[in-house]
């Protein structure tokens, strides 16, 4: 297992190290996520498949009387796999623009924007990815927790759409949050939300005395719900529309996703070595007037234990 911070240490190129830090700075999820860097191409050189055993039902224990056998039960698991996906982007600049960009370094600007786009695409796929619908995506949490015991669905949406309704309903919401978290095995590492839900969580946490702040690796403030960071995954631009990575439906309802990052829980997978993220900057001395650069990530996410991630549905925020 490796983190992006650890992957950076093994890189000789200072530009690659800086790009890794930009990914970490731009995403608390990517900064905290661990990757099983154990995937190599198959014999044909074209597949990047990660095989693992997924725990579906944990084992149980109980009491027994003298001269009485235990009631047998076994943990249940099944074989599962995830295909690593390749994503990122390319940009092109005329060398005159690069050489005359002055105080605003156009090459650096385009690289920063491409990193931001790759982060947002990763965030979007972590929630909404569905390899059955789009073979270029890895499966996200919507698929991984579907119909599991940690998919918490109140029969009626809890309404937090206005400040007045937050005052009225926050006690009920607190009880639901406690019930939701209790369904998971262990404390979540973080909650993944959109900006609207983050604002609601902050307001309710303050009302209930659950709110606190900590600092990330780059000295920035992180909002916490009872000691658990709640992270805005921000928005994804698909070239036409911009939408929250954690969707809000037409009725104004959204979800909270909880993950426990662990080698036996929710984690990333990546190629062998430190090859999670790669970059290419143009060679300004090479022939040609159009210079290209790119940023690329090779990864997927898996959930090895269905009790280590969950989704709290039907929260009305609009």
Identify the pLDDT of residue 99: 82
**Whats the size of the chain, residue-wise?**
318
Cβ proximity of 18 and 44 under 8 Å: no
For residues 258-283, give the mean pLDDT.
Answer: 91
Higher pLDDT, 133 or 77: 133
Query: In which residue are the tokens 């990047």 written?
Result: 48
Six-digit token string for 178: 């406690």
In tens, the pLDDT along 86-103 reads: 999 999 999 888 888 765
Q: Is the pLDDT of residue 44 over 70?
A: no
Contact 33, 123 (CB under 8 A): no
CA atoms within 13 A of residue 104's CA, in its CB half-sphere:
4
- The average pLDDT across 184-195 equals 96
Q: Domain ranges in the chain? A: 4-56+79-142+264-303, 149-262+306-316
Half-sphere exposure of 294 (CA within 13 A, CB side): 9
Q: Which two tokens stand for residue 255?
A: 């979800």
Rounded average pLDDT over 183-191? 95
Identical fold, 4-56+79-142+264-303 and 149-262+306-316: no
Whether the Cβ atoms of residue 137 and residue 302 lie closer than 8 Å to each other: no
User: What confidence score (pLDDT) does residue 175 get?
Assistant: 95
How sure is the predictor about 78, in pLDDT bands with cuts at 50, 70 and 90?
Answer: confident
| pTM for the predicted model, two decimal places | 0.89
Q: Which residues contact 164 (CB under 8 A, 6 or more apart)?
A: none
Determine the pLDDT at residue 106.
85
Per-residue model confidence (pLDDT) at position 245: 97
Q: Would the pLDDT of 67 be above 90?
A: no
Q: Which residue has the tokens 């990517």?
A: 30
C-alpha to C-alpha distance for 65 and 84, rounded to whole angstroms: 50
**Ramachandran bin of 186, using left for φ above 0, alpha for ψ from -120 to 50, beta for the remaining angles:** left
At residue 273, the pLDDT reads 83
Residue 125: its pLDDT value, please? 97
Read off the pLDDT band of 46 (50, 70, 90): low
- List, in sequence order, the alpha helices (H) in the chain: 4-9, 14-26, 28-32, 95-99, 106-128, 141-144, 163-182, 195-208
Q: What's the confidence (pLDDT) of residue 80?
A: 83
Residue 43 reports pLDDT greater than 60: no
Could you read off the pLDDT of 125-170 as tens digits, one per residue? 999 999 999 999 999 999 999 999 999 999 899 999 999 999 999 9
Contact 118, 88 (CB under 8 A): yes
Residue 42 pLDDT class (50, 70, 90 cuts): low
Which three-class secondary structure state does DSSP give residue 313? strand
Beta 221-225 vs 228-232: how paired, if at all? antiparallel
pLDDT top residue among 160 and 46:
160
Residue 210 dihedral angles phi and psi, to the nearest 5°: -95, -5
Q: Are 225 and 218 in contact, with CB atoms under 8 Å apart?
A: no
Region 225-230: mean pLDDT is: 95
pLDDT for 107 equals 85
Mean pLDDT of 111-135: 95
CATH 3.30.2400 is the classification of domain 4-56+79-142+264-303: yes
Could you give the CA distance from residue 318 to residue 315 in angstroms, rounded to a whole number?
9
The CATH number corresponding to 149-262+306-316 among 1.10.530, 3.30.1930, 3.40.50, 2.40.160 equals: 3.30.1930
């Amino acid at each position: 297992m490796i983190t992006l911070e650890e992957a950076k240490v093994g890189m000789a190129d200072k530009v690659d190290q800086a790009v890794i830090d930009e990914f970490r700075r731009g995403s608390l999820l990517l900064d905290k996520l661990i990757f099983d860097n154990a995937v190599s191409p198959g014999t044909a050189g074209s597949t990047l498949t990660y095989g693992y055993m997924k725990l579906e039902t944990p084992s149980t224990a109980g009491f027994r009387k003298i001269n009485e056998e235990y009631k047998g039960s076994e943990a249940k698991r099944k074989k599962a796999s995830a295909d690593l996906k390749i994503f990122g982007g390319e940009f092109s600049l005329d060398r005159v623009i690069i050489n005359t960009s002055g105080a605003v370094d156009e090459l650096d600007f385009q690289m920063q924007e491409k990193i931001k786009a790759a982060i947002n695409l990763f965030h979007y796929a972590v929630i909404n990815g569905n390899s059955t619908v789009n073979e270029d995506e890895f499966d996200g949490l919507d698929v991984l927790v579907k119909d599991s015991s940690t998919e918490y669905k109140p029969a009626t949406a809890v309404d937090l759409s206005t400040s007045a309704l937050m005052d009225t309903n926050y006690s009920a919401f607190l009880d639901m949050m406690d019930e939701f978290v209790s369904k998971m095995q262990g404390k979540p590492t973080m909650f993944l939300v959109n900006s609207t839900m983050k604002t609601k969580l902050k307001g309710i946490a303050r009302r209930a005395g659950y709110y606190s702040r900590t600092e990330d690796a780059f000295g920035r403030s992180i909002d916490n719900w009872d000691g658990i960071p709640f992270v805005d995954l921000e928005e994804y631009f698909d070239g036409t529309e911009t939408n929250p990575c954690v969707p809000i439906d037409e009725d104004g309802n959204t979800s909270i996703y909880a993950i426990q990052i662990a080698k036996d829980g929710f984690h990333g997978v990546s190629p062998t070595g430190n090859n999670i993220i790669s970059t290419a900057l143009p060679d300004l001395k090479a022939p040609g007037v159009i210079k290209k650069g790119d940023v690329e990530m090779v990864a997927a996410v898996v959930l090895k234990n269905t009790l280590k991630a969950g989704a709290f549905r039907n929260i009305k925020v609009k």
